[in-house]
Structure 1
Amino acid sequence: MRILVVNAGSSSLKLSLLDHDDTVIARPADLSALRGLPEPDAIGHRVVHGGAEFTDPVLLDADVEARIRALTELAPLHQPKSLRGIDTVRRVLPDLPEVACFDTAFHAHLPEAAATYALPAAWRQRYGLRRYGFHGLSHAYATRRAGAMLGAVPRRLVVCHLGAGASLCAVAGGRSVDTTMGFTPLEGLVMATRSGDVDPGLLLWLQERENLSPAALADVLEHESGLLALAGTADMRAIHDGLALDVYVHRLRAGIAGMTAALGGLDALVFTGGVGEHAVGVRRRAAEGLGFLGVAVDPAAEDTVDADISVPGAAVRTLVIAAREDLEIAAGVRTVLNR
């Protein structure tokens, strides 16, 4: 089955055309570039939010699309992009089966202790307030790939998806049991332009003194914070030392240790995403502070992917894995259409 994978961003569509064996035929720049390429048999869409309802990939039809659209209130910055991607591709390829694959699905069965906010029960029930988690397609793929590289999925695995957005996931026997992102993708680690964890009392204090509307405060937290606020750039490739890197690594180490606590120990650690794959200094500095967990990275390991970078004999295996959400989406499409 030849699959077109669609990842809708804020201003563009990222497309991957995969052959029957998951070989990449092309990564067309836009839909017009599909002309002259082999025709896909099906389409797989990345959808950021599946709420509590969508816990597996699902065949798109009018009813499912309406239910996805109804979740926009939970992800007002991200869900419309996914829906626009579906609409855009359908206009060009109207007759192909389409499958929605959800970034929240991998975290859908978090233990209640990990998923629950200490907020009034009436609010939690009325609005579906819980920790949903994101980057699930990347975490799921990295888990499967780690299993293939090590011979079996590690019993206690922490996956670090480090890109413009960043999150950690504690994986116990192949299942997500904790993660750093929560009700929104703002929670957790310092990111390129997102703040990560901030004292909510500080935000209320600032909102009053700066006379900020909720929309204005959200814009600052989403687009003017993180590395950009600390270093003047959101590009980790331009940050080699200083406060921004210190803060980033401090939060990363603490997060990995927290995920390890949720697992009761650590057997393997994975770095993935653009920063995770290529920022050698970030990996090295993170590992230096995690020696007490058994993490030890080969200092000679440089810009490498799909590789074990542990020192020989390390108690914890440390892997660098290329982020391939497209393969996870393709697997979801095949699962749905081959039932």
Structure 2
Amino acid sequence: MPDAILVLNAGSTTIKFGLFDILPTGPQSLCKGLLDEHDATPRLTIKDGDGVVLFDKQQPDRDDEAGLLDDILNWVDGYLASDDLLAIGHRIVHGGPDLVAPVFIDDAVLEAMQALTPLAPLHQPRCLSPIRSIMSLRPELPQIACFDTAFHHDLGPLSRRFAIPRRFDGLGVRRYGFHGLSYQFIAQRLAEISPTLTEKRTVVAHLGSGSSLCALRNGASVDTTMGLTALDGLMMATRCGTIDPGVLLYLQRAHDLSPDELEKILYYESGLLGVSGLSADMRVLVASDEPHAIEAVDLFVERAAKEIAAMAVSLQGLDCLVFTGGIGEHSATIRARICARLAWLGAAIDPQANADAADRIAAASSHIDIRVIPTSEETTIARASANLLDGRLDPR
């Protein structure tokens, strides 16, 4: 077996990871794993490409992250046998204005990423914690940071700038955008499907616990819905999305809420959970006949359709709509309802193709090409890590 790269994608309650073969044609997935920390005793599960379970273990101590990661690394060592683990690639949510390309992690880079925590308080600490643990466990093993914000780095001023005094833009207060590793994967996948697709005015809807849109053309981000932080834009599982800033001032003044209390409400208690009062899980809400659950789904659909239309303005038209992410890939109901709200733009779906989650779900009458493309942030990270390692190993 050739040399390999391990990719870690840390979420709020899970760490997804993938082990990739490094081949001349690019990284190839060997196996995928999930460290699920939802329950009192986390579970580590690893499966091959056919879904066969290779490793499954309940972890006795959820607070011993170093021990959990050590289990992963030891399993990888045994799986690779005599071959080498070249590096570990990490998804880092926020790179700020300066970290705009994959980079080897050292103390200075780690400190710079730590300084961005106020811009992504829900995600950044979870991204950085495994890095510190692995520095302790395997100090000789290169670690590589790949940034969700980097794909949107070249947004033009009309998409990037907030309408506040210009001096704040110079301080880095701007729209950064997120889910960039997912959008980069989709952009490459569209080019693989057909080179003509890259030229189309495309909106990619990454819908999941965190949701955003990206206006895409010629493989580049033209506009996106998330902003300085991952709170902006679409309604999400527990995040509010776009909100009148006056609401926040009112809550602070009239209800004496502190910044920490506001942060908790906006990140953890809002979105689908806040409106429904029932669940943050779209599957639960779609299946429910509770009025507040129905309203939460209605609001999610309405907000998504409105924002897709706004992205069409940035693109000056809409030729292609791509659904991806947990909800985008798996909820035929949400796809159908969003497209129904966009019928005036010429969107129409084939009900059977949509029910089957086919690659193309547009009806013959649709003026917009509508697709479902599974994303893989881990593949994007593996590609970027391999390219960075090539540059390091071959100075030419």
**TM-score, normalisation: structure 1:** 0.94
Mapping 1:274-313, distance limit 5 Å: 274-302=326-354, 304=356, 307-312=359-364
- Aligned partners of 2:87 and 2:143 also within 8 Å: yes
Q: Does 1:37 align with 2:79?
A: yes
User: In the alignment, residue 368 of structure 2 is paired with which amino acid?
Assistant: V
Gaps of 5+ in 2: 35-43, 45-67, 392-396
Structure 1 residue 292 displacement after superposition: 2.6
Distance 1:75 1:185 in 2: 7
Distance 2:304 2:210 in 1: 13
Q: Secondary structure of 1:265's partner?
A: coil
Distance 1:315 1:146 in 2: 18
Percent identity over the alignment is 44
Counterpart position of 1:93:
138
- Aligned partners of 2:102 and 2:388 also within 8 Å: yes
- Aligned partners of 2:120 and 2:230 also within 8 Å: no
Counterpart position of 2:15:
13
Q: Secondary structure of 2:228's partner?
A: coil
Task: Flag the structure with more relative contact order, 1 or 2, with Cα contacts below 8 A and sequence separation at least 6.
Answer: 1
Distance 1:313 1:41 in 2: 50
Counterpart position of 2:256:
211
Distance 1:247 1:12, change over 3 A: closer
Counterpart position of 1:135:
179
Gaps of 5+ in 1: none
Distance 1:147 1:311 in 2: 22
**TM-score, normalisation: structure 2:** 0.81
Q: Secondary structure of 1:300's partner?
A: helix
Counterpart position of 1:236:
282
- Aligned partners of 1:160 and 1:272 also within 8 Å: yes
Structure 1 residue 302 displacement after superposition: 4.1
1:162-204 CA distance string (max 9 Å, x none): 0001000001211111100001111111100111111111221
Structure 1 residue 259 displacement after superposition: 0.5
Distance 1:151 1:121, change over 3 A: closer
Distance 1:256 1:245 in 2: 17
Distance 1:99 1:282 in 2: 36
- Structure with higher Rg: it is 2
Structure 1 residue 306 displacement after superposition: 6.8
Q: How many residues align?
A: 338
Q: Which of 48-57 and 115-124 deviates more?
A: 115-124
1:199-245 CA distance string (max 9 Å, x none): 11122112222210011011001111111112121010012262111
Counterpart position of 1:262:
314
Distance 2:357 2:72 in 1: 29
Distance 1:236 1:11, change over 3 A: closer
Distance 1:77 1:284 in 2: 31
1:86-119 CA distance string (max 9 Å, x none): 1122333332222110000001111111111111
Structure 1 residue 12 displacement after superposition: 4.2
Distance 1:254 1:26 in 2: 36
- Aligned partners of 1:8 and 1:84 also within 8 Å: no
Q: Which of 297-306 and 101-110 deviates more?
A: 297-306
